[in-house]
A and B are shown apart, each in its own frame.
Chain A
Amino acid sequence: MLSIKDLHVSVAGKPIVNGIDLEIKAGEVHAIMGPNGSGKSTLAHVLAGRSGYEVTRGTVTYMGKDLLALSPDERAHEGVFLAFQYPVEIPGVNNIYMLKAGLNAIRRHHGEEELDAVDFLSLVREKMKIVDMDESLMSRSVNEGFSGGEKKRNEIFQMAVLEPRLAVLDETDSGLDIDALKIVAGGVNKLRNKDRAIILVTHYQRLLDYIVPDKVHVLAHGRIQRTGDKSLALELEKHGYGWIESKAGAA
């Protein structure tokens, strides 16, 4: 579904991603771990099409298309979803109103009929259950005054409504308390299916106890240094990133 080849990205003239290769098939869950500043969010943003990131080399193919040629909203229409590490607040814009606008734009793109308020509301009610979302958050402005955990929950709720093909979850676990982590992880598991690929960016192997990945990649200095299965995350937990760094240095 997603094929990243030799991807190089610079931000403000500074190389951040230095040759990433990654293949993800439909139905798979890949975890990406790595130290602060290693380029995880940069990769996520490049996939979602955020401006300010210059791809200096390499290709990204998504469902057979050149992903980098699409605008951010076109990517969303094609099923790319990013759960933000830091969801932004939009004062005065109703949370589910924005979501409805997004969903209907996506539906239009697929030649489907737009949902009216009534149908949308019943969809929302159903999806809220997936992450046990508080009803009062629905009528508030987008992320405004949401607690850190509520923002993260809201991201997964949006994912549940928009039903993407490729979801990139950037540190969705950070800021969640233990109970919330279980709930949100449970929500993500419910959203796993054979047609959907998920990239999980995380610092904590604990998340991977709940959402068991097919593969784990360790990113450092803008490159994937190691790839393995869930046990890699456990090893990492034991030895820290220094272990990868020294290996990378040795290689």
Chain B
Amino acid sequence: MASTKYDIKTAVDQRYKHGFVTDIEADTIQPGLSEDIVRLISAKKSEPAFMLDWRLRAFRHWTTMKEPVWAHVRVAPINYQDIIYYSAPKSQDDRPKSLDEVDPKLLETYEKLGIPLHERAALAGVAVDAVFDSVSVATTFKDKLAEAGVIFCPFSDAVRDHPDLIQQYLGTVVPYTDNYYAALNSAVFSDGSFVFIPKGVRCPMELSTYFRINARNTGQFERTLIIAEEASNVSYLEGCTAPMRDENQLHAAVVELIALDNAKIKYSTVQNWYPGDEHGRGGIYNFVTKRGDCRGVSSKISWTQVETGSAITWKYPSCVLRGDNSVGEFYSVALTNNYQQADTGTKMIHIGKNTRSTIISKGISAGHGQNSYRGLVKVLKGADGARNYTQCDSLLIGDKCGAHTFPYMEVTNPTAIVEHEASTSKISEDQLFYCLQRGISREDAVSLIVNGFCKAVFKELPMEFAVEAGRLMSVSLEGAVG
């Protein structure tokens, strides 16, 4: 969530600008990255030795790696020594006391998104107890979850309270050697979510970062780990429906999902980090590694993402279909407007027998936006009867934007059936005129048509998210049509 992240750079800039150095009660360390910094982060979080050890190994590995250059995006150089890797959450005293103290522009956006008033306050970082009784909401949640044996807590708490689970599962889906940003995250991750659903339990409610109050203090290197034991079932919503107002800032998260026999995990994301302005200044670099491991037989992992924010999005939520009869799904809407760039897609790795995967990707490019679908369907030798269906549609609005498709297929089992369909279209003047003729404004018509284009993905979202996603599309498309 936007203001829920450490506004490190802004905070620092402002401190220099206004000379507030001593006034701000923030526990911030100096910029830069070294073994000492990694040790310092771990110490500040009072982590057990195994955690520090893992961070250090990740850091050492990271120093041997190079930034990936294969994505179809242009990235301004990032100086990793300029970044501050640890800043303690602002204390309640530093936060705005009421909505009156919050930037009205931010509130306006929330309003457009239809976020209820009390949630707007939480998103804007207003001190919770000053505004509404969310603490009791959170408590009701906690009680209900605890009753079911579900663990849902900040990652740091899990390291402290459930070290054996962390040790057993951390890095088993995305090892720190996986890629540059995953290694970086592993070395310096600030916080994130931990979810554990015990055997046979159907999680009694959708788990949402909205309601986990401490999520607001999650940093730019967050880490999420979800474990679904045998025959359990969970739906997790990651809502980032607030724009950030920072300059180019790196957001390098890692999400690992593990589904054991017959378990089901549904992971939905609505990402709307600050995309930069209409000239392409500022915005988040969203470099995220998300992967799910269908470790057990007949397990299922389903990713649904709606990506409308960030200056650059680089993410490929993937499924490793290890268990026989396991199922992987990827439903994606990625929208790029103005100068936004997205290189996103998925990897479906078929290892087990009769594994099935479905990929539905909808890319929308407007303004000068560049939108790439990059996907890999890999069927290993032993994956008899594997099936994949991929559908990849691009919609162009205007003629300065671009859509690109990079589908890769590696099939080494002759019994596999892999299907791929792709289309590129433009919003037709006929469709627009039809809507206008019925009284609908041009802007509403575009968002209506775009929402229609995304329908196959939106219907995978939990109800309230689907509504929000629809509104988000409209907001994100503002200015896309003349």
Interface residues of A (CB under 8 A from B): 48-52, 71-73, 75-77, 81-82, 84, 87-88, 90-94, 97-99, 101-103, 105-106, 109, 141-142, 158, 162
Contact = CB atoms under 8 A, between A and B. Distances in A.
Contacts of B440: 73, 98, 101-102, 105
B453 A72 contact: no
Contact of B452 (A93, A99, A109): A93
A71 B438 contact: no
Contact of B439 (A73, A93, A97): A73
20 contacts: A48-B437, A49-B437, A50-B433, A51-B433, A52-B429, A71-B436, A72-B437, A73-B440, A82-B437, A88-B431, A90-B431, A90-B448, A90-B449, A90-B452, A91-B452, A93-B451, A98-B440, A101-B440, A101-B444, A142-B434
B15 interface: no
B439 A92 contact: no
B439 A91 contact: no
Given A82-B437, A88-B428, A73 B451 contact: no
The prevalent SS among residues of B at the interface is helix
Interface in B439-466: 439-442, 444, 448-449, 451-456
Interface in B419-435: 428-431, 433-435
A76 B441 contact: no
Among B428, B429, B437, the most chain A Cβ lie within 10 Å of the Cβ of: B437
A160 to B, nearest CB: 13
B428 A76 contact: no
A18 to B, nearest CB: 24
A93 B448 contact: yes
Contacts of A109: 439
Contacts of A51: 429, 433
A92 B431 contact: no
Q: Which 5 A-B pairs have the closest CB atoms?
A: A92-B452, A102-B438, A93-B452, A92-B455, A76-B439
A75 B438 CA distance: 9
A97 B452 CA distance: 11
Nearest to A86: B430
Nearest to A51: B429
A93 B449 contact: yes
B452 A73 contact: no
Contacts of B436: 49, 71-73, 76
Given A73-B439, A101-B440, A102-B440, A84 B434 contact: yes
Interface size class of B (residues with CB under 8 A): 20 to 34
Contacts of B433: 48, 50-51, 72
Nearest to A52: B429
A92 B453 contact: yes
Given A73-B441, A88-B430, 7 more contacts: A50-B433, A73-B436, A73-B437, A93-B451, A99-B438, A101-B440, A103-B439
Nearest to B444: A101
B438 A98 contact: yes
B315 to A, nearest CB: 24
A90 B449 CA distance: 7
A92 B454 contact: yes
B428 A92 contact: no
A98 B439 contact: no
Nearest to B458: A92
A76 B449 contact: no
B189 to A, nearest CB: 39
Contact of A105 (B430, B441, B453, B455): B441
B445 to A, nearest CB: 8
A92 B451 CA distance: 7
A106 B449 CA distance: 19
A93 B438 CA distance: 14
A75 B439 CA distance: 8
B437 A81 contact: yes
A76 B437 contact: yes
Given A81-B437, A92-B453, A98 B448 contact: yes
